[in-house]
Structure 1
Amino acid sequence: MFSYNVRGENIEVTKAIREYAEKKVSKLERFFTDVPDATAHVNLKVYPDKTAKAEVTIPLSFLVLRAEETTPDLYASIDLVVDKLERQVRKYKTKIHRKSREKGFEGIADVEVSPVEMPHAEIHEEPELEIVRSKRIDLKPMDSEEAVLQMNMLGHDFFIYTDADSNEINIVYRRKDGRFGLIETATL
């Protein structure tokens, strides 16, 4: 059984909204034979242009389910985000089944995800992941501001560089809202 953490930004989460979100997200529980103690984080946002965004993150021990959707209607956003999460579970299930068939392991596909809720008609083979281009880059030491400038000059949405202070490999990227994000790495 999932527990729920429903919160809102620029919106009061009413009892009706909370119940609707929990009801919709709880439909995902049927895909798992042994649902661990997982918390479904539901974040609802309303923007000044009256669009509503629903984000759902469900960290499981073997998989992190995460999706977001923005529409003019909050309830539609919740519906669409749950649909996305269902597709993610189906895709994961398909991969597990395919790997178990290839490796010859019987029953491995049923360990984490319930096979009952995955009709064979809905399972379709994903195309093989194929790398169509390879590129080698030299990482120049710089700070994050210079990396953003380099990224903009190249017209890319991300840029990989060596941080001049920490000497670690970092990534700057352009977010959907037009601002920038930074991913800092650490050597284990």
Structure 2
Amino acid sequence: MRFIITGRNIDVTKALREKVESKLSRLDKLFVDDTEVYVTMSVEKLRHILEVTIPIKGSVIRAEVQSEDMYTAIDEVVDVVERQLVKHKKKLNNRHKVDSPFKENLNFLITDVEEEEEMKIVRSKRFALKPMYPEDACLEMELLGHDFFVFRNGDTGEVNVVYKRKKQGTYGLIEPEF
């Protein structure tokens, strides 16, 4: 695995870098050798945030942990990544995919991690997509009390999604590429 470690509002010291590499190298036996691991450390007020992103064929394994201490966040993020790997591996097994980005046997990890409930779609909804501008879609989303809203963009005619971001008062816009 190749580690790409960056810091936002924090200096990535040698000790932090070594701690990240030693903890995440536990997962080295699961991935093929040329897998890149992107690690971003950031500090916002008193929160230490650690994001780990591992792009793999056709998907992305991503984990984000917030803590009062960066070393605690590093310890916690490994467990989150392992849970994501188990979910992804189950999905691959269910779809009988080949050319897996993982090494031969990930089954030992599945037994070590608690079994999580299978994802089930319990409700389906159909609705007409109204053409509107993103600002109008945000207003509609707020009126409905939802966290996201799907609409047809009045400018482009494409289907877009607006959503509430974690930071108070900000919104995001998703524009798919075809």
The answer for unaligned runs of 5 or more in structure 1 is none
* TM-score, structure 2 normalization: 0.86
Q: 2:175 is matched with which residue?
A: 184
- Contact 1:147 1:172 (8 Å CA) reproduced: yes
Equivalent residue of 1:172, what SS?
Answer: strand
The answer for unaligned runs of 5 or more in structure 2 is none
Matches of 1:138 and 1:129, distance apart in 2: 26
Question: Which residue identity does 2:69 align to in structure 1?
Answer: D
Q: CA deviation at 1:126?
A: 5.3
Q: CA deviation at 1:3?
A: 1.2
Q: 2:64 is matched with which residue?
A: 68
Q: 2:20 is matched with which residue?
A: 21
Note closer, same or farther for the CA distance 1:157–1:135 as it changes in structure 2 (3 Å cut). same
Which residues of 2 match residues 166-177 of structure 1 at below 5 A? 166-177=156-167
Question: Which residue identity does 2:8 align to in structure 1?
Answer: E
Matches of 1:157 and 1:120, distance apart in 2: 32
Q: 1:132 is matched with which residue?
A: 122
Pairing 1:45–2:42 present: yes
Note closer, same or farther for the CA distance 1:68–1:39 as it changes in structure 2 (3 Å cut). same
- Contact 2:2 2:35 (8 Å CA) reproduced: yes
Matches of 1:111 and 1:148, distance apart in 2: 38
Larger Rg: 1
Q: 2:86 is matched with which residue?
A: 90
* TM-score, structure 1 normalization: 0.82
Percentage of pairs with the same residue: 42
Matches of 1:83 and 1:157, distance apart in 2: 27
Pairing 1:143–2:143 present: no
Deviation string, structure 1 residues 20-72 (Cα, Å, up to 9, x no partner): 1121122111123xx14222110001111x11000000112254211101010
Query: Superposition RMSD on alpha carbons, in Å?
Result: 2.5
- Contact 2:86 2:109 (8 Å CA) reproduced: no
Which residues of 2 match residues 75-114 of structure 1 at below 5 A? 75-97=71-93, 112-114=102-104
- Contact 1:90 1:118 (8 Å CA) reproduced: no
Equivalent residue of 1:42, what SS?
Answer: strand
Deviation string, structure 1 residues 105-162 (Cα, Å, up to 9, x no partner): 9xx6988343266156436665454322221111111111111111000000000011
